[in-house]
Amino acid sequence: MRAWSLTDGTSDFEDSCLAVVESVADRVERRRVSPRALWRFLPRWAPIDPREAPERGAGPIAPRSGDPWPELIVAAGARSARYLARAKKASEGRSLAVFLGSGAPSNADLVVTLDHEVPGPTGSLSVAVPPHRIDPVRLLAARGGPPPVTRAGTGPLIGVLIGEGPGRRGMTAEDLARLAAGLARARSDGATIAIRAPRTVGKDALVALRAVAHYIWDGEGPDPKLALMAHADALVTAATSARIVSESLAAGTVVHAFVPTTAPTSVCSLVSSLARRGHLQPFTGMVECGRAPVLDSTREIARAIDAMISTRAVLRPGAEMRAPRRQRETNGPTSR
């Protein structure tokens, strides 16, 4: 199956779309819309930038020369909604249009919303967390490999995951002080502290975190995220984005959420909803360890798409059925 991920390049939107298309398709293309200033802030029902119209032949919603329309287009974000609607119309229904989030175009075939937000249109799919690109097979394989750090004693290994906030907005000095104090308490109780921080966390943050960590990854060398998720007895997640929260809940271990003051309102609402239902706990320095149910919406969305595509194939006369091909095509890097 050929599929497109359609976004404006925002990392969380693109990661969610790629997670979905990679779980169902064997030929994946990453498409990015880039409307000019006049069209960038128009309402959702307005036309797209004519420079990026499909009839131009080289825009983000135009098939490459000689290629058919993809069977699936997954979009997210306000700027991408209009482009999904236009691509659906231009494909004459050949492409299944899936939109992640609120504000979906009226001709979308499937709308996926978070169940703590405003319900989507009739027939939409409601999930607990955004989709993510943590592959359960690779996570299982990581459990057979070495942990990123040797335990300092007989206490638990506490993995700390810090994500990037919108616009690469970091935590304040007060946030860092609160997080470091909580980790110091866990360390004094005998825990081994292993931290994965993004490259943009800043020098001051690294200094504060190094003071309480046995191990810290600051962007240099191989990313230990999967190994940390696989071997940690508990995870502490700095909830700077919805993606890092969703990824943490795929590990199958107890998750403690640290919510910085810079966290977006949407992330705070997500964390509160998950905490009310017992999927995670607030981080106070006292860390509960153990296994927990995996929360993964990516597979749930993939099953819904597979069912819709199978139905379309049965109903479409002369539908061509091909064996999956292990191939990926992109118009840019898709690093995890």
* Other C-beta atoms lying within 10 Å of the C-beta of residue 290: 9
Q: What is the pLDDT of residue 249?
A: 96
In tens, the pLDDT along 186-217 reads: 999 999 999 998 766 777 778 888 899 999 99
User: Does residue 327 register a pLDDT over 50?
Assistant: no
| Average pLDDT, integer, range 93-106 | 93
User: Does residue 323 register a pLDDT over 50?
Assistant: no
Q: What is the pLDDT of residue 16?
A: 95
Task: Please name the amino acid found at residue 183.
Answer: L
In tens, the pLDDT along 252-291 reads: 999 999 999 988 899 999 999 999 999 999 998 889 999 9
Q: What is the pLDDT of residue 290?
A: 93
Q: What is the pLDDT of residue 84?
A: 96
Prediction pTM value: 0.86
Angle between helices 11-24 and 297-315 (to 10 degrees): 50
In tens, the pLDDT along 122-152 reads: 889 999 999 999 988 999 999 999 999 998 8
- What does the CA dihedral 53, 59, 61, 64 come to, rounded to 10 degrees? 130
Q: What is the pLDDT of residue 117?
A: 84
Residue in the block written with tokens 């999930």? 127
Count how many Cα atoms sit within 13 Å of the Cα of residue 155 in the half-sphere of its side chain: 16
User: Does residue 329 register a pLDDT over 50?
Assistant: no
Burial environment of residue 34 by CB neighbours within 10 A (0 to 12, 13 to 18, 19 or more) = middle
Mean pLDDT (the chain) is 87
Q: What is the pLDDT of residue 41?
A: 84
Tell me the pLDDT band of 314, cut-offs 50, 70 and 90: low
Whole-angstrom distance, CA of residue 334 vs CA of residue 336: 6
In tens, the pLDDT along 18-64 reads: 999 999 999 999 999 999 988 888 887 888 999 999 888 778 999 98
Q: What is the pLDDT of residue 35?
A: 92
User: Does residue 108 register a pLDDT over 90?
Assistant: yes
Q: Which domains does the chain have, with CATH numbers?
A: 2-133+297-315 (3.40.50), 136-282 (3.40.50.2000)
Whole-angstrom distance, CA of residue 25 vs CA of residue 122: 26
In tens, the pLDDT along 209-238 reads: 889 999 999 778 888 999 999 999 999 999
